[in-house]
Structures are given as C-alpha cells and as structure tokens.
Amino acid sequence: MSGKSCHSGHRERVRRRYHEFGIYSFHEHELLELILFYGIPLKNTNEIAHRLIEKFGCLDEVLKAPEKELTKIKGIGASAAVFLKTFGDICGEYKEFISVNQYALSADEYVALIREYFSDTEENKCILFCPDTNFRISFSADIFLENTKDTIPIMNNLVKKESSRIVVAVNKMNSTASPNQNDIQLMDIISEKLSAVGIRLQDFLIIGKRSAYSLLNDSAFVV
C-alpha cells in the first residue's frame, strides 16, 4: 500500500496551476487551500478553506483572525492556527513595508522595471499592470499570449480591486519591439474584455531588447 496521501494528486494539480497561471487564476478559497497545504500536510484543505471563508468572510479576515477563533473551525488545530496567524502577520508587515517604500516612477523607469521583470520570464509572455497616476504598480499578473482565456479570472480580480485602467506589456526581449498582427489582435481582445467590465486599457507596450513600442499610441522609444 502506498504511503502517499489520497489528496496528493489533487495537490500537485493545484500547485501546477499556480506555477502556470499565478495566484490571480484562483478564487479566495482556492488560494487559502493552497496556503494550507503547507500547514496541514494530510487533510483535505479545500473543505477547511471553505469553512474558514464561510466563517470569516474573506481571505484577508482569515489571516487576521485570532488563533483562538481559528481553532474553532473543524480541521484547524493549534499548529495550523499558528501557521495561519504567522502567515498573516508576515503578509501584513510586507504590505506595510511596500507602502512605505513604494515610490513614483517616470515613464522610462516604469519601462525599465518591466524589462527587469521580463529578464526572468519567457518570450511571448505578457504582464498586466494596474498603475496609479504616478506610475506606481498596485497590481500585476502575467499570462501567455496564446492563452487569452487566462484573462477571465484576472478581470474578475481587477473588478474586485476597483481598478479603472491597466497597462499590458509583452515580452519580446529576444527580438525587436516592432508590433505584428498578433500583437494587434491580442490588444483588441484584451481591450474588449476590459471594456466589458468597465476597465480602460491605458497602454499596450511591446518591450524589445533595446527599445519599447506603445501599440496604443503607435510610437516607439528607446529605453
């Protein structure tokens, strides 16, 4: 008889989904389920995640909940409660650090930041940013160009976060920033999906090795 948990196959599928599509392809209870994989090794954390969300209302409130209240939920013992409380405290400290150390970027610095991000990603991957008026990045997610259906859960998250506009940037670091028909088609698809939920596409950037191209403004610039 194998010593593997009966949930190991499911857990591997969830982890693979995270690696392929990122956290913004997850609903809150699914993200909490993923977090609990590392605090509860053998139980079905999907059911526990549902109970936690039902009790506390949302992921943020779960991570803020006192340990005593967490242990009242079936499936959450003292160890798992400490794990969730610690995880929540670390997230809270990190968010505070980011808000204190976040600074406004010029347009050139903004593109340079995207280029730095793309240095560790694959060709033909694009990233969606939610900038504020000072080019601060408040939300990001990435998708593969050939799989635009991935934008659907991302759109849902943008709506929940009350985002009003986004920038899309395409990774062409190994080639030229010159746009092609596929880029135009992708821009139209994303723009249409955003418009349907009341979000404006602020810019569509193609990031090449030595230059960038704003497809929405039809202009090239060196950065």
pLDDT in tens, 188-223: 888 887 787 777 888 888 888 778 888 877 765 554
Contacts 24+ apart (CB under 8 A), 139-143: 139/163, 141/22, 141/23, 141/24, 142/22, 143/21
Reported as a single tens digit per residue, the pLDDT across 37-60 is 999 987 889 999 999 999 999 888
Q: Average pLDDT of the chain? A: 76
Domains by residue range for the chain, with CATH: 8-101 (1.10.150.20), 107-222 (3.40.140.10)
The region of weakest confidence among 33-42, 68-77, 81-90, 135-144 is 135-144
What percent of the chain is predicted at pLDDT more than 90? Answer: 20
The region of weakest confidence among 86-95, 156-165, 170-179 is 156-165
Q: Identify the band that residue 1 occupies on the pLDDT scale cut at 50, 70 and 90.
A: very low
Is residue 64 within 8 A of residue 37, CB to CB? The reply is: no
Residue 32 above 80 pLDDT? yes
pLDDT (0 to 100) of residue 162 = 58
